[in-house]
Amino acid sequence: MDERLALDAQGIVRGARFIASPNCDRRPAGARIELIVIHAISLPPGEFGGAGVIECFTNRLDPAAHPYYQTIRALKVSAHFFVRRTGELIQFVPAARRAWHAGASEWHGRTRCNDFSVGIELEGTDTQAFTDAQYEMLARLTQALALAYPIQDVVGHSDIAPTRKTDPGPCFDWARLRQSLAGTF
């Protein structure tokens, strides 16, 4: 186990930079964290390294800063984790709480995936390859989460909301991730 990514009782990862998002709430009584959902995001779209995602997840996005921001100004969204292209890990919501990342969704006949999942956003787009540093951090984080919770599967946002979402997209290397997680589940 990677001690740098150990989770405390609330599901805060020791090695992550924590920036609290207000866009979360309690999980339903008895809900178990069984699913990891992989997303891709960049704000502004196709631009990396800026503060847009952090500002969006903390409700501080300036709608005048970029034309695209006008279209998402009312969104109240978050994810548990954000992995930058450098591999930096930022956490917005403790895993014990429900982040607002999946929206209308279904996995194996169960709806409301936010209730029983952890959302991990990768800084990226559907049309660009992700970095080695991101795959390495994603694998390490997934393994840490699987040690802490009864994780059953890792899926893309497109797998649980196929009519609405396409991320993490065709450039995401599922075979690479599965190989790095061999024996984890």
**Model pTM above 0.95:** yes
In 13-148, DSSP assigns E strands to 17-18, 24-26, 35-41, 81-83, 89-91, 97-99, 106-107, 110-111, 117-123
- Would 27 be classed as within a structural domain? yes
Catalytic site includes residue 121: yes
Q: Is residue 185 part of a domain?
A: no
| Total of domains in the chain | 1
Give the span between the Cα atoms of 79 and 114, in whole angstroms. Answer: 10
Any domain includes 97: yes
In the three-class reduction of DSSP (H, G, I as helix; E, B as strand; rest coil), residue 121 is classed as strand
Q: Which pLDDT score is estimated for 91? A: 98
Read off the pLDDT of residues 42-77 as tens digits, 9 standing for 90 and up.
999 999 999 999 999 999 999 999 999 999 999 999
Instruction: List the one residue out of 55, 147, 38 whose CA is nearest residue 102.
Output: 38
In a domain, 84, yes or no: yes
- Examine residue 34 and state whether it is found in any structural domain, yes or no: yes
Asked whether residue 144 is assigned to any structural domain, the reply reads yes
Domain that residue 49 falls in:
3-180
Q: Which of 47, 55, 121, 123 is catalytic?
A: 121
CATH of the domain at 87: 3.40.80.10
Report if residue 127 sits inside a domain: yes
Of 51, 62, 60, 58, residue with least CA distance to 78: 58
**Both tokens assigned to 88:** 């930096």
Tally of CB atoms within 10 A around 102 = 27
Per-residue pLDDT of 145-155, as tens digits, reads 999 999 999 99
* Residue-wise pLDDT tens digits, 26-41: 999 999 999 999 999 9
